[in-house]
A and B are shown apart, each in its own frame.
Chain A
């Protein structure tokens, strides 16, 4: 186990990182370690636990901004916002159980590091689209800020985008400001039953291309649908394509009606209301169907929406026990494959390379994640640029070195 520093405030973070930079001692940045299985395994002697940097500093519902310390639990933030009928519109998933961990342990800092986003991503964006500003300590041990605490700002480089999905390799965040949005009053989900994957992609494209402002578009092949905790979905006995509508009561009713008319030629329709609808989207958001068994490898593919079904068809042709479902109108594929020393990386990488997009090896043995690229390999010019960007924040390579790729 690495020796762990647990700073209580920003000054301590500066001190630890300055020391680590001077001594060239790599640090593993962590909150509650709920997503420690994501990324290449760390090999640091020292860890920097940022979970005590927590708590809300400012929350002004009418300004749509929330400033907090990054060690704050996502679940606590959601409770605070819900009390004022607001939400984190990027719908952060709770992935802890995917690696056998507890639920609801993820922090805002971790959500930023992994650029989390749920089913609403294609409409509302990821956390990258909601991080307005931050204060952080760079790998140089310097405290700096970027962005601001207002919803519209183009002053200076948009470094908040850069720290989203950087897996803690650039800086240790000490304060962040997020954009928050009103929560919808009502939610319903229209279900289309029995579509094959390609037809489902077409149906989702039709819904997304209509002016009905859908906020969720997922397709569950029959075996996945059967596992759902929502009765209507589990008992459908067929594949289920789910289309979510959110908004005011009259609006949701009217749009549901319009969508039913639009989708009726595709297949039999069902409808989920509030509780059932919320349950289904939470399952999908958290990828609950693939939490167990944990020895199966889990891939997350981001593709053009119509390419999702093409990718799975090709992968399933080689790996018949592949299991998968689609989110983001078909563009996000959750793919579960049997355990294998190489995690079937050559197959997955080849298919994704043909179509364009990227694949992340979300779950595999540590040895596999050390030997295989976890994230999409980059062309040399881009990889070189990424290394220079890393160096510009962390010249001694002490912040989560190797977490994203060897050397970064």
Chain B
């Protein structure tokens, strides 16, 4: 995986640039010494590291605007960063780029109970929003597993999901407004406390744009009343087919559970060994199905789900009878990543989405790939929405094993696309899946996306080297091949 070659003329102006940044962000807000910069050298994708040219931590929108204006004028690249929990390298620094940290934007600005929304700065953590509103029975719905640490600004950049997003949606479905700064320093406000856009839905576009279009400086999120009850079913199955069948039948029967997770045998064993959640060991697949809502509804649906699971051949089916038991059901799933970390020195977490019906085929093919690459794999799966997280186990100390793991991962993602799915369901493309984009998109598809990028940042200064495998100059992308005079459509009816 190659990053764009660092531009020597940018590195040469480092001292000038630092002085310029210090005029905008005084004091400790500009970090230039190597030891302190090391703190920013990677995000959650730790296989890639790079010390940034300099880091700047502005404390208000005006400073962000001035920083971007300065960098734009000087042709300096900028990498925005929230908490740095991205699993795809979205916040990987550049040797010739300023790292723009939003950590000082950590305040909840306004909680508007009657309009059921909160205005927060982008550095507030995902869980921090829920913590700020839960005393009055509200919460913020998207709950990525990094929610203790990840920030709402990063959630917007990555369009983060979580285990509850089949029912409650992703970040894009749960925000009402943003303030953002473009690379040229323009400050733009989109949305507010009202619904829908007054023009092009640029807020929808910004969500999941991976820090390539603008820097988020404020977010208005919807807050929801907490469901009255949550209960879960834990069901073991003798085959992944029968578990997949159960998931399809639950949805076909009209039930959208709050969460529906699947684990395969290696993941079940790793989790059980680690947290002793009481998972059955003699099954090939385990489902955790959570229902939330008014108690009467939850009771009703639990009975239906249990009946479906049993009809699909579940060999062990338990319904949580207390909050402790529900949390125990989840404890193993939530600890799946660290549990796998215990049985392997390193692991890669993949993130494809597949049409659910193809799960048995994908698992079979994945087992074959596991043999081919001689690496173990454990699977956790957001079964409701088809989002698969294969964990590839490897040891970085063995020469060549990281490369083999990456090749295995790429094969899995190609497989996801082959069966009608996508490269990433929630972790983003970043640098990790950048070079696989042509597997899913044609040249014309990618060119149109890059033209949109050009509308925001015509010189590719904001987070370059992420998402797109090849950076085309905007002038080149804008050129049109005109077919004047050669077009005829004789068969086309006209009126």
Is there contact, CB below 8 Å, between B254 and A185? Answer: yes
In chain B, positions 439-495 with a C-beta closer than 8 Å to chain A are 440-442, 444-449, 451-456, 467, 478, 480, 482-485, 487, 489, 492-495
Chain A interface (Cβ within 8 Å of chain B)? 3-8, 12, 15-16, 18-19, 21-23, 60-65, 85, 115, 117, 121-122, 125-126, 128-129, 138, 140-146, 148-159, 161-162, 164-166, 170, 181-183, 185, 201-202, 205, 208-213, 247-248, 250-251, 253-255, 258, 302-307, 328, 331-332, 356-358, 375-376, 378-379, 381-386, 388-393, 395-396, 404-405
Whether A150 and B386, one on each chain, are in contact in the complex, defined by CB atoms closer than 8 angstroms, is yes
Of all A-B residue pairs in the complex, the 8 with the closest CB atoms, nearest first, are: A161-B204, A251-B297, A358-B198, A182-B254, A254-B296, A304-B193, A376-B198, A388-B455
Q: Which residues of B contact A251 (CB under 8 A)?
A: 293-294, 296-297, 300
Given contacts A18-B483, A157-B449, A376-B198, 7 further A-B contacts (CB under 8 A): A63-B356, A125-B173, A149-B420, A156-B440, A170-B200, A211-B225, A302-B196
Decide: A210 and B355 in contact? CB cutoff 8 A: no
Q: Which of B116, B448, B484 has the most CB of A within 10 A?
A: B448
Residues of B within 8 A of A155 (CB): 422-424, 429, 433, 437, 440
Q: Mark B170-183, 1 if CB is under 8 A from A, else 0.
A: 10110000000010
Bound together, the chains give a CA A393 to CA B425 distance in angstroms of 26
CB-based nearest A residue for B223: A209
Chain A binder among B7-15, B158-166, B332-340, B342-350: B158-166
Q: Contacts of B265 on A, CB cut-off 8 Å?
A: none
Q: Please report the C-alpha to C-alpha distance between residue A21 and residue B485 in the assembled complex, in whole angstroms.
A: 11
Residues of B within 8 A of A22 (CB): 482-485, 487
Instruction: Tell whether, in the assembled complex, residue A386 and residue B202 are in contact, meaning their CB atoms are under 8 Å apart.
Output: yes
29 A-B interface contacts by CB (under 8 A): A5-B493, A63-B356, A115-B201, A117-B196, A128-B196, A144-B442, A150-B421, A150-B422, A152-B165, A152-B387, A154-B428, A155-B433, A156-B437, A156-B446, A157-B453, A158-B172, A210-B225, A247-B297, A302-B196, A305-B116, A358-B197, A358-B198, A378-B199, A381-B187, A381-B188, A382-B189, A382-B199, A388-B454, A389-B202
- Determine whether B112 belongs to the interface, using a CB cutoff of 8 Å to chain A: yes
- Report whether B441 and A156 are in contact in the complex, using a CB–CB cutoff of 8 Å: yes
Does B404 count as interface, using CB distance less than 8 angstroms?
A: no
Q: Are A152 and B300 in contact (CB under 8 A)?
A: no
Q: How many residues of B contact A (CB 8 A)?
A: 109
| Contact indicator A161/B205 (Cβ below 8 Å) | yes
Expressed in whole angstroms, the Cα–Cα distance for A383 and B188 within the complex equals 10
Using Cβ atoms and an 8 Å threshold, which residues of chain B touch A375? 198-199
Q: Are A145 and B445 in contact (CB under 8 A)?
A: yes
- In the complex, what's the smallest C-beta–C-beta distance from B356 to chain A, in angstroms? 6
Q: Are B444 and A142 in contact (CB under 8 A)?
A: yes
Distance of A148 Cα from B208 Cα, bound (Å): 14
Contact between chains at B423 and A5 (CB < 8 Å): no
Q: Is B452 in contact with A150, judged by CB distance below 8 angstroms?
A: no
Closest chain-B Cβ to A310's Cβ sits at a distance in Å of 12
Q: Which of B292-324 contact A (CB under 8 A)?
A: 293-297, 299-301
Please, which residues of chain B bring their CB within 8 A of the CB of A185? 254
Q: Say whether B256 faces chain A, with CB atoms less than 8 Å apart.
A: yes
Q: How far is A166 from B189 in the complex, measured between Cα atoms in Å? A: 18
The answer, among A152, A210, A247, A386, for a CB contact under 8 Å with B200, is A386
The answer for the CA separation of A65 and B356 in the assembled complex, in Å, is 11
**B492 and A164 contacting across the interface, CB-CB below 8 Å:** no
Interface membership of B143, Cβ < 8 A: no
Q: Which residues of A contact B281 (CB under 8 A)?
A: none
Q: Given contacts A151-B385, A182-B254, are A166 and B204 in contact (CB under 8 A)?
A: no
Q: Is B255's beta carbon under 8 Å from chain A?
A: yes
Neighbouring A residues of B353 by C-beta, 8 Å: 148, 150-153
- Residue numbers of B with Cβ under 8 A of A are 112-117, 137-138, 158-159, 161, 165-166, 169-170, 172-173, 182, 186-190, 192-205, 207-209, 225-228, 248-249, 251-256, 293-297, 299-301, 353-357, 382, 385-387, 420-429, 433, 437, 440-442, 444-449, 451-456, 467, 478, 480, 482-485, 487, 489, 492-495
CB atoms of B355 and A250 under 8 A apart: no
In Å, the complex CA distance between A185 and B452 comes to: 42
Contact of A146 among B207, B248, B448 (CB under 8 A): B448
Please determine whether A248 and B300 come into contact, CB atoms closer than 8 angstroms. yes
Q: Determine if A152 and B484 form an interchain contact, defined as CB atoms under 8 angstroms apart.
A: no
Query: Within 8 Å CB of B425, what residues of A?
Result: 150, 152-154
Given the known interface contacts A152-B385, A385-B456, the answer about A159 and B449 at a Cβ–Cβ threshold of 8 Å is yes
Distance between Cα atoms of A258 and B422 in the complex (Å): 43
In the complex with contacts A61-B252, A149-B355, A211-B297 CB distance below 8 A = no
Known contacts A158-B172, A166-B200, A254-B296: does B489 contact A356 (CB below 8 Å)?
no
A304: B residues at CB distance < 8 A: 112, 115, 117, 192-194
- Kindly state the separation between the CA atoms of A23 and B488 in the bound complex, as whole angstroms: 12
Chain B residue with the shortest CB-CB distance to A142: B444
CA distance A140 to B477 in the complex (A): 11
Q: Known contacts A255-B294, A385-B186: does B254 contact A356 (CB below 8 Å)?
A: no
Question: Which chain A residues lie closer than 8 Å to B382 at the CB level?
Answer: 152
B172 to A: closest C-beta gap in Å: 7
Contact B448 A389 (CB under 8 A): no
Beta-carbon contact of A60 and B172 below 8 Å = no
Write out the residue numbers on chain B whose beta carbons fall within 8 Å of the beta carbon of A332: 195
Other-chain contact of B195, A142, A331, A382, A389 (Cβ < 8 Å): A331
